[in-house]
Structure 1
């Protein structure tokens, strides 16, 4: 098949969250299966250095945005013989500090920025005369594309047989904007109704995508159930329930070439489940990297991720002192809300080398953290799938997670009578989290029991070789639906 993959962030061109890895790993896995994949993404500020080495296409396009047009410039990269990456550039929209927003919040013109992206992606395919079998969209930023395929681009020949899949990575980010942005879409006001775009008097991009996509997927089985509830779906539960027969759940995978402690070039010493000596060296190196005071004698716990309420910072921050009192050292890597940056820096200054902090995200350092830590804590308020817990298990780092979304699906809770691969807790409270931390530390003190847990975690398999064929099945179903629609 010819698959077009539309996403605002793709590693290594831009990364805000796990979508960047998803958008890198899945296309490569599909290519290894023999499919041809065109990834269409954005050129933004953090990718400018890389873009100097990319080839610029020899044409530009004027993209309609309301009554005017905006210029799109395109770059190309070919990371695999069956994968083309096209980057859409427009300095006015994307030459900014952040992809979606900055320290003051989301950009006020995000509706316009991602309408432009969606239409530029479709216009690029027309200019290249590429006729896809499937267009795989991701989250609200590309959720207008399934609607466009059935409206503005309905008569375009190259899209006549194109089917669409929308993957929901985070239903709580919906792309909701005031109704005065409606003309920017290029759509008639007839689509501003409760069945398409209208949402409590505003427009909702994700709602339109759910309604018009041929198929919908999300990234874990529990999350597929959670998005049917108002607490998680925030008003879209009815639309999702209406399209439930077209909804599938596919757990994310891990790229074995990238996340593999046996061959990882980023870590101090390689190791395997059968020989863990290298992990001890990685722990010592991580302690030096974060300037901790210990010599590896304490259990070392890590947090990697965005510093946001939904990632669990609201319950983690009040528990940090207690975790240290329990005997663990901590390393934290991430970025997010400024008040968490400030609070963590202040807390670190009082801990005499017991807590290391890196505000930001560095891929090489993330590998070192996974290899050097004994435990990874993910106290998420919500977590559609999660990738860090999958990476942690590959590196023999036991996850401590809240039992939500993909964390519940992928982590089997451990006890002395029921061996597992990590530690789970249910309630979104500091106390319940600390009880799980204490269970992990108690198990760590039992050397044989801990080594057995580490071995089970490292051999637990979540790979793209397992997940990609599931997406192909969805693509095939969507393509058959498109063909039958044309025959009718």
Structure 2
């Protein structure tokens, strides 16, 4: 089974979010299922110079390079005029969207469609798997083309908040069939909808958790596309993301002060002390050290955390935070750290080292998001024996077993959930976490359960392999 992954970013080469982690890890896990996945992505600055990169096809405006790197088989779309520029994959150095983004990612989608139909370098895939709006036009381009032979396609939605909506005046320039500009096609409120095009043209649709798949059919979460998704409910499936167990491995993590395993979890105390020192905290032994890593935005529920911070501090707990985002929220956490020295520590920015140390040293990891398609932070927390405290939404609801009375009695709790996603409910969950922390036997059980949770890609890779096989056999 051969699968072409078409993505706009892939770790460790280029990363702005969880899509890159999936693109870098899932193909490796699929190999164990007998699936040969090749990852097509733009040749951003420096990638065309990867050792061993060889041209395998001429493409519109450039060429396609094949190379093996970091355990992945890559197909790099080398179009310097589109992708070899300073800044990020989507934003320029000024922090604004590249004005030619529709042309950049239409080119990537066209290249993916061509390889899907015709192959490249003697390799032809059996299935095309596209991800998010940046490659969602590929199934449509594949249907429009007469060259070669079309193959089944899968579209994965990682976050429906990003849809790739552009002016209808670009229809001709993007090489789209004007007859498809209808409510049943790629038209979206009078504009071109890249993601919508994928939703109506892909053979199957997946998203990154079962709960998020259900949520996407509701107006609250579907962001204008809930009707389209509901109409394709029979072709929709939620498949949980996993984490790279080699990168996120507490037993061999160089970022930790003291690597540990479930059998040597007592060594976690050294990481707690190291984390406290890095954030200028003096945490109490009888109260949890809460940690948060993420964007400081309303979507992530950070305003709820600010509102409940006095309640957290009243319990004797402390807070370490890493993140950037809303300027007012950044200022609020700086002010909180100044007002509560030794109790609140904030690093406004991002550090991979501190992110790992946070997972290995915090007692509780907070993920109070208003919506979260899957989430990886809570999976890292489980892997590192930190109890996730999460909103009951999306993948958070699917991956954390709430320490309610029934779960405690059954001995299966791995963390804490709260609903509705409001400050009062978050405060109640903070109290429950503090109460559980004071019961050493219960806390030991929760952390042991967390570390035993399956958070790798094995089960999800098996599900995708079965999906690909089903599509090819139709």
Q: For residue 396 of structure 1, give the secondary structure of its aligned residue in structure 2.
A: coil
TM-score (norm 2): 0.91
Question: Is 1:469 equivalent to 2:462 in the alignment?
Answer: yes
* TM-fit CA distance, 1:144: 0.4
Of 439, 442, 448, 2:441 maps to 448
Question: Is 1:273 equivalent to 2:262 in the alignment?
Answer: yes
Q: For residue 166 of structure 1, give the secondary structure of its aligned residue in structure 2.
A: strand
Q: 1:237 to 1:393 in 2, by over 3 A?
A: same
Q: Which moved more, 1:100-109 or 1:201-210?
A: 100-109
Map of 2:77 onto structure 1: 88
Q: For residue 196 of structure 1, give the secondary structure of its aligned residue in structure 2.
A: coil
Q: 1:247 to 1:282 in 2, by over 3 A?
A: same
Q: What is the Cα-based RMSD across aligned positions, in Å?
A: 2.4
In structure 2, distance between residues paired with 1:350 and 1:71: 56
Map of 1:334 onto structure 2: 323
Contact 1:283 1:296 in 2 (8 A): no
In structure 1, distance between residues paired with 2:393 and 2:249: 26
In structure 2, distance between residues paired with 1:289 and 1:371: 13
In structure 2, distance between residues paired with 1:96 and 1:346: 34
Map of 1:485 onto structure 2: none
Q: Which runs of 5+ in 2 are unaligned?
A: none
Contact 1:133 1:161 in 2 (8 A): no
1:54-93 equivalences under 5 Å are 54-58=51-55, 61=58, 63=60, 70-71=61-62, 74=65, 76-80=67-71, 83-93=72-82
Map of 2:293 onto structure 1: 304
Q: For residue 9 of structure 1, give the secondary structure of its aligned residue in structure 2.
A: coil
Map of 2:351 onto structure 1: 362
Of 187, 211, 214, 2:200 maps to 211
Contact 1:3 1:132 in 2 (8 A): yes
Q: For residue 235 of structure 1, give the secondary structure of its aligned residue in structure 2.
A: coil
Q: 1:360 to 1:229 in 2, by over 3 A?
A: same
* TM-fit CA distance, 1:266: 2.5
* TM-fit CA distance, 1:418: 3.0
Of 470, 473, 478, 2:471 maps to 478
Contact 2:258 2:267 in 1 (8 A): yes
Task: String of CA shifts for 1:78-125, please: whole Å, max 9, x gaps.
Answer: 333xx4123334455442433323675544432222112222344567
Of 179, 182, 202, 1:193 maps to 182
Q: 1:425 to 1:170 in 2, by over 3 A?
A: same
Contact 1:266 1:367 in 2 (8 A): yes
Of 110, 120, 127, 2:111 maps to 120
Map of 2:87 onto structure 1: 97
Number of positions where the alignment pairs a residue of Structure 1 with one of Structure 2: 466
In structure 1, distance between residues paired with 2:42 and 2:327: 26
Q: Which moved more, 1:53-62 or 1:233-242?
A: 53-62
Q: Which runs of 5+ in 1 are unaligned?
A: 64-69, 482-488
* TM-fit CA distance, 1:77: 3.2
In structure 2, distance between residues paired with 1:43 and 1:296: 50
